[in-house]
Amino acid sequence: MPKKAFITGITGQDGSYLAELLLAKGYEVHGLVRRTSTFNRWRIDHLGPEGPGGPALHLHYGDMAEGSSLARLLARIQPDEVYHLAAQSHVRVSFDMPEYTTDIVATGTVRLLEAIREVGLRPRFYQAASSEMFGRAVETPQRETTPFHPRSPYACAKVHAYWITVNYREAYGLFACNGILFNHESPRRGENFVTRKITRAVARIAAGQQRQLALGNLEARRDWGYAREYVEAMWLMLQQPAPDDYVIATGETHSVREFLEVAFAHAGLDWREHVVSDPRHYRPAEVDVLVGDASKAQRVLGWRARTRFAELARLMVDADRAWLADPAAPEPVPAT
Q: 102 near 253, Cβ under 8 Å?
A: no
Dihedral, 302, 238, 165, 100 alpha carbons, nearest 10: 100
Which of 81, 132, 185, 229 is catalytic? The answer is: 132
Which of 16, 89, 94, 130 is catalytic? The answer is: 130
Name the residue among 83, 122, 129 with its Cα closest to residue 106: 129
Which of 154, 168, 230, 246 is catalytic? The answer is: 154
Q: 157 near 129, Cβ under 8 Å?
A: no
50 is catalytic: no
Cα distance between residue 137 and residue 123, in whole Å: 33
Strand extents, DSSP E, the chain: 4-8, 28-33, 57-61, 81-84, 124-130, 176-181, 184-185, 213-215, 221-222, 225-226, 246-248, 254-255, 275-277
**Pairing between strand 184-185 and 213-215?**
unpaired
The amino acid occupying position 301 is L
37 is catalytic: no
Name the residue among 245, 229, 226, 233 with its Cα closest to residue 158: 245
132 is catalytic: yes
Q: Which amino acids are annotated catalytic?
A: 130, 132, 154
